[in-house]
Structure 1
Amino acid sequence: MATYKVPQKDILFALHDVLNVSQLSALPGFEDASAEIVDGVVDEAAKFVEGVIAPLRESADAVGAQWQDGEVILPEGMKEAYQQFYEAGWVGLASPGEYGGQGLPYVLSKVVEEMLCGANVSFALYPGLTSSCFEAIEAVGSDEIKDLYLPKLGTGEWTGTMCLTEPQAGSDLAAVKTKATPNDDGSYSLEGMKIFITGGEHQMADNIVHLVLARLPDAPAGIKGLSTFVVPKYLVNADGSIGERNALRCISIEHKMGIHASCTCTMGFDGAKGWLVGAPNHGIQNMFIMMNLARIMVGFQGLGQCELATQNALAYAMDRKQGKSFSGSEQIIDHPDVRRMLLTMRAYTEAGRVMALDTSMHVDLAHRATDEAEREAAQDHVELMTPLVKAFLTDAAFELGSLAVQVYGGHGFIREHGIEQIIRDSKILALYEGTNGIQAMDLVRRKLQLHGGRLPQRYFERVRKHLAEGGPDWLVAPLSEALDALETATKDIQAGFRDNPNDAAYGCCDYLRAFSLVALGEAWLRSVRAAEGHKDASFAEAKFVTAHHFATRLLPHAVTLCKTALAPAEPIMGKPAALLDAA
């Protein structure tokens, strides 16, 4: 079976040595976020995740969530594990103290997110969506709504969902048909169906709070006519106690390729009572508050799976003897191709961790920095990096899962080793919260154009500053070349998008991949400098070897990707689609 151990040394290296997370303790409200607190959070979370959550990964996958007469029964141990998780305060790690949380930086909650997702990504989805629901209500809800729901969501005593998708409305939310009819008491009656609702029904918590997109009777057509409603499984009395069952139900659950212990529900709203959250017809804006942070969350889900794949492939390769390498060794880790795969896995995982944690720290800076210009710059960085964190790390999770199976050989294809589960669990990550193609389009269509192109320009200046500070030539030279190619491609896409949108759309995934490789290159440059003089010489040397592999074998692909991203699409998109089926 696959095992998971929290990579504490590397997490703390990224937080302290590379990113200087202690700087957040100077922000208002984060005075308690000292280095000692950070270390304590990482250590205690690691103990909990390894002892309680990780052992459920394979057993829960084998059983999966079960639907029975509208009820969802989760695998044995899931409910008890969730109760321990929320009672220990992990759900509310970054929630404000006024709502029962610990008020620690957002980045620390993402550290725990990675651990959970490496140990058991199905389990992680329940508290993850709860936090997203909390964030949206906190941002736009009335004081009455906040006071009624946030104290229970903020601690995890109640769980939350986001109900967007309908059978005819997936990525195109303009097609949402669920209706919300006003009642005399200020509530609304919701009628409609939602599909692919993670955690829509279960028995782990006393109540489930659904955040639902629906249309008011007089709403304009299309995406501008959507509003957001909070719809609880059980109605909530004025004193916060639970009342009668609301008129909503789980019609069925999906039978999926992976994440079997996470229930994916079809929900029917049959006149269910809901309350407006935020202004009428501002539902899409409200949901994007929830979705943008959810996309970072999904990136950490991918990172956790990358770590799981890397750990197990490395352990297997160290132990497995098969044939002889050119050096005469029988361990497969000494075969060059196996070493190449393992270093690729480490290179993406360790630099991806720095990229994701850095983005999360900028979320904290965007919310808490006292200087307005610093908040603006931090928000620019978050906006730009979110599609990279989501898309690259989730693509990497699937790729590294496949590499892990390859390292194991035929044994990786066998279920008892628990490695093929990584592939099954990881594929969904590239699909939900906006497919990775949508992330790439968001990058070229929105992020490159915002504020006159300010976002990428600020990032390029940052990387050039790091390059000017020096580093080994074997890393500085290819990173400089990749950055030059990326900056040129960016200017061409910005200039040509309006006239030739198909060109940018056809090449956007190559462009996002190239941008991600440059971002990982920057992360490796910072990591190599931080590793110089590290007290653990072996740890430092491993960083140098992995960075060298990345710089010489992976980073150069960014230049080629920039070229393919700019190739004209007219010879392909200008032809009728029927040609594809001509054979």
Structure 2
Amino acid sequence: MPSYRAPVEDTLFLLNDVLDYASYSDLPGFADASPDLVEAILTEGGKFAEEVIQPLNLSGDQEGCKRNSDGSVTPPKGFKLAYEAFCEAGWGTLSADPDFGGQGLPHTLATALNEYVSSANMAFAMYPGLTAGAIAALTLHGTDEQKQTYLPKMIAGTWTGTMNLTEPHCGTDLGLLRSKAVPQGDGSFKISGTKIFISAGEHDMVENIVHLVLARIEGAPEGTKGISLFVVPKRKLDADGNPGEENGVSCGSLEHKMGIHGNATCVMNYDEAVGWLVGDEHKGLRAMFTMMNEARLGVAVQGLSQSEVAYQNAVAYAKDRLQGRALSGAKAPEKAADPIIVHPDIRRILMQIRAFNEGARALVLWTALHGDIAHRSPDEKTRQNSEDMMGLMTPVLKGVLTDTGFANAVNAQQVFGGHGYIAEWGMDQFVRDARIAMIYEGANGIQALDLVGRKLPANGGRAVMAFFEEMKAFGKANKDDEALAPFIQPLKQGADHLQQATMWFMQNAMKQPDNAGAGSTDYMHLFGLVAMGYMWAKIAKATHAKLANGDAANTEELKAKLAFGTFYMERMMPETAAHLARISSGCDTMMSVDADLF
């Protein structure tokens, strides 16, 4: 039976010692999030994830969701009660707007909690997670009336939200979208069409579901320039704003999926459902991308979350499973064999996953902190820099953390040998659940193209140049610190490779666009390696400082942290050279073979 323990101590170390979270206390919301309160929230949130949500993960996967004869959907046993407890405890309100019932705390804190909930039960976490994305879209683009109507209920959790983009004939290419919206003369529209792959599209845990739906108003231009966004509640609202009669929205079927069985992934049919325009006509993608960007950071956290829970279970198994003897001599001579954690190759797997997890967690929180600064800082230049960093890192986080999170779940499963292939151990669920994160909210190949094609050249390369300068300044400030040499030197080499790859694109992608496409995924992973290497260098600096201060309570844990970081620099950072070599090979060979010869 799999288990999970929320990594609260590591999160607090990152917030307090690495990111200096307390130094932002002058920003709105941060003053209310004192170190003691942050610790209390994460500790209690971690317990909730461990004790309430995690026990439903395996059973929820085995039971799945059920579509009833009337079209309603029932999630697995225990989900509804757990969701009610989640809402009653206020976990979904942490960073929401106080004007609509939220607590107004930094989003960084909510991001940390989201990791715990997703590790404990990824399918469950998607219900409030998608609602948070819908809340973000309505907050930025909805009318005052729409905000007053929907946000209090959604923030409280008594209503949930969804995003409806994909149709049977179009996924990434939304210009092919066919769902239509017919104006009714009273400000409303009748929405008709079919959407697929709609997570949490129908369920009985709440009294209403608020769907955000992309559709084309009759007579609108073709392609993406003619798409609008609409808010379409499952049930129409009466004069008092309460759910009433059905609104022409129904679940046609449940998708039969590889994983996340506890989440209701639906085919949604809209039959002249009444909806209202969100934002401007034909500008729906701008509003939807607010939700998409929110979701992409959440999906990156999902990649990390499955890597973390898979790692924890693999470590427990490796310490317990007896097989063979250590190459250097028996480590447990009193036993029939040594635990497999003595074997270097098992340690290679575990250290690689752990080194990723801690670096990735730091990068997620660093990016989320930039998101808070972008929304809360009074200084325009500071806001701009943080907004640049947030935009630059979003595709990197989504692509790299989900690709690697899936690979890590597979490698953790490998530690179990044959037992990892047996369902009762739960490792196969982590693999299956992690797989979807590479696909939805923009498949990872699209994330790589977004990074190379849009984020790098944006504003004349302002964001990536600022990131290079920040790493350079860190290296310069710490170049004489001998203790940090194992981190600074590999980081510099990796950063040099990243800059060379960036320059190669600048010189070769304009004249041959396929060069950008051919190297985009390698570039995304090269970027991710360097960004996490930068985080590890910051972690190492904070760790040495803590050791120098005589933090005897966890000296051995801090020394182990340095070992995991050193492993990252020795065994993982050198992959930047391979990525650079592949990028520099260009597209000629890749594009030379006729499609019929594949």
Which bin holds the TM-score, normalised by the shorter protein? over 0.9
CA contact (8 A) 1:134 1:154 kept: yes
- Counterparts of 1:134 and 1:543 in 2: how far apart (Å)? 37
Q: CA deviation at 1:272?
A: 0.3
- Counterparts of 2:11 and 2:31 in 1: how far apart (Å)? 21
CA contact (8 A) 1:208 1:232 kept: yes
- Counterparts of 2:487 and 2:27 in 1: how far apart (Å)? 34
Structure-2 residue corresponding to 1:342? 350
Residue correspondence of structure 1 range 436-515 to structure 2 within 5 A:
436-470=444-478, 471-515=483-527
- Counterparts of 1:230 and 1:283 in 2: how far apart (Å)? 11
Q: CA deviation at 1:15?
A: 1.1
CA contact (8 A) 2:178 2:215 kept: yes
- Counterparts of 2:522 and 2:95 in 1: how far apart (Å)? 35
Structure-2 residue corresponding to 1:571? 589
CA contact (8 A) 1:148 1:238 kept: no
CA contact (8 A) 1:24 1:105 kept: no
Q: CA deviation at 1:566?
A: 2.1
Q: CA deviation at 1:23?
A: 2.6
- Counterparts of 2:156 and 2:23 in 1: how far apart (Å)? 26
- Counterparts of 1:292 and 1:24 in 2: how far apart (Å)? 24
- Counterparts of 1:118 and 1:458 in 2: how far apart (Å)? 33
Structure 1 position 382 matched with structure 2 position 390:
yes
SS at structure 2 position matched to 1:209: strand
- Counterparts of 1:569 and 1:433 in 2: how far apart (Å)? 27
Structure-2 residue corresponding to 1:27? 27
Residue correspondence of structure 1 range 277-292 to structure 2 within 5 A:
277-292=278-293
- Counterparts of 1:278 and 1:568 in 2: how far apart (Å)? 41
Q: Which amino acid aligns with 1:418?
A: G
Structure-2 residue corresponding to 1:220? 221
- Counterparts of 2:340 and 2:589 in 1: how far apart (Å)? 46
Structure 1 position 123 matched with structure 2 position 141:
no
Greater Cα shift, 6-15 or 566-575? 566-575
SS at structure 1 position matched to 2:25: helix
Q: Which amino acid aligns with 1:245?
A: E
SS at structure 1 position matched to 2:302: helix
Q: CA deviation at 1:51?
A: 1.1
Q: CA deviation at 1:321?
A: 1.1
Q: Which amino acid aligns with 1:5?
A: R
Q: Which amino acid aligns with 2:303?
A: G
Q: Which amino acid aligns with 2:202?
A: E
Q: CA deviation at 1:571?
A: 2.5
Structure-2 residue corresponding to 1:89? 90
- Counterparts of 2:279 and 2:227 in 1: how far apart (Å)? 11
Residue correspondence of structure 1 range 253-332 to structure 2 within 5 A:
253-327=254-328, 328-329=330-331, 330-332=338-340
- Counterparts of 1:36 and 1:223 in 2: how far apart (Å)? 48
- Counterparts of 1:13 and 1:240 in 2: how far apart (Å)? 45
- Counterparts of 1:574 and 1:549 in 2: how far apart (Å)? 39
SS at structure 1 position matched to 2:57: helix
Q: CA deviation at 1:14?
A: 1.0
CA contact (8 A) 1:325 1:334 kept: yes
- Counterparts of 1:546 and 1:238 in 2: how far apart (Å)? 59
Structure-1 residue corresponding to 2:145? 144
Task: Provide Cα deviations, 1:257-288, integer angstroms capped at 9, x if missing partner.
Answer: 00000110000000000000100000011111
Q: CA deviation at 1:466?
A: 1.5
- Counterparts of 1:509 and 1:42 in 2: how far apart (Å)? 34
SS at structure 2 position matched to 1:122: helix
- Counterparts of 1:142 and 1:238 in 2: how far apart (Å)? 18
- Counterparts of 1:124 and 1:359 in 2: how far apart (Å)? 21
Greater Cα shift, 490-499 or 458-467? 490-499
- Counterparts of 2:371 and 2:158 in 1: how far apart (Å)? 25
CA contact (8 A) 1:74 1:202 kept: yes
1:423 to 428, 431, 447: 431
Q: CA deviation at 1:47?
A: 1.4
> What is the aligned-residue RMSD (CA, Å)?
1.0
- Counterparts of 1:472 and 1:333 in 2: how far apart (Å)? 28
Structure 2 gap ranges (5+): 332-337
- Counterparts of 1:19 and 1:59 in 2: how far apart (Å)? 38
1:353 to 350, 353, 361: 361
SS at structure 2 position matched to 1:472: helix
Q: Which amino acid aligns with 1:382?
A: M
- Counterparts of 2:285 and 2:592 in 1: how far apart (Å)? 33
TM-score, normalised to structure 1's length?
Answer: 0.98
CA contact (8 A) 2:518 2:590 kept: no
Greater Cα shift, 62-71 or 277-286? 62-71
Structure 1 gap ranges (5+): none
Percent sequence identity is: 44
- Counterparts of 1:174 and 1:503 in 2: how far apart (Å)? 25
Structure-1 residue corresponding to 2:335? none
CA contact (8 A) 2:178 2:193 kept: yes
Structure-1 residue corresponding to 2:574? 556
Structure 1 position 404 matched with structure 2 position 409:
no
CA contact (8 A) 2:399 2:447 kept: yes
Q: CA deviation at 1:567?
A: 1.3
Structure-1 residue corresponding to 2:565? 547
Q: Which amino acid aligns with 2:581?
A: K
Q: Which amino acid aligns with 1:472?
A: L
- Counterparts of 1:504 and 1:46 in 2: how far apart (Å)? 42
Q: CA deviation at 1:497?
A: 2.0
Q: CA deviation at 1:486?
A: 0.7
Structure-2 residue corresponding to 1:60? 60
SS at structure 1 position matched to 2:121: helix
Q: CA deviation at 1:163?
A: 0.3
Structure-2 residue corresponding to 1:48? 48
SS at structure 2 position matched to 1:290: helix
CA contact (8 A) 1:366 1:375 kept: yes
Q: CA deviation at 1:29?
A: 3.8
- Counterparts of 1:446 and 1:161 in 2: how far apart (Å)? 27
- Counterparts of 1:298 and 1:572 in 2: how far apart (Å)? 30
Greater Cα shift, 450-459 or 557-566? 557-566
Structure-2 residue corresponding to 1:11? 11
CA contact (8 A) 1:448 1:494 kept: no
Q: 1:342 to 1:29 in 2, by over 3 A?
A: closer
Q: CA deviation at 1:493?
A: 0.7
Q: How many residues align?
A: 580
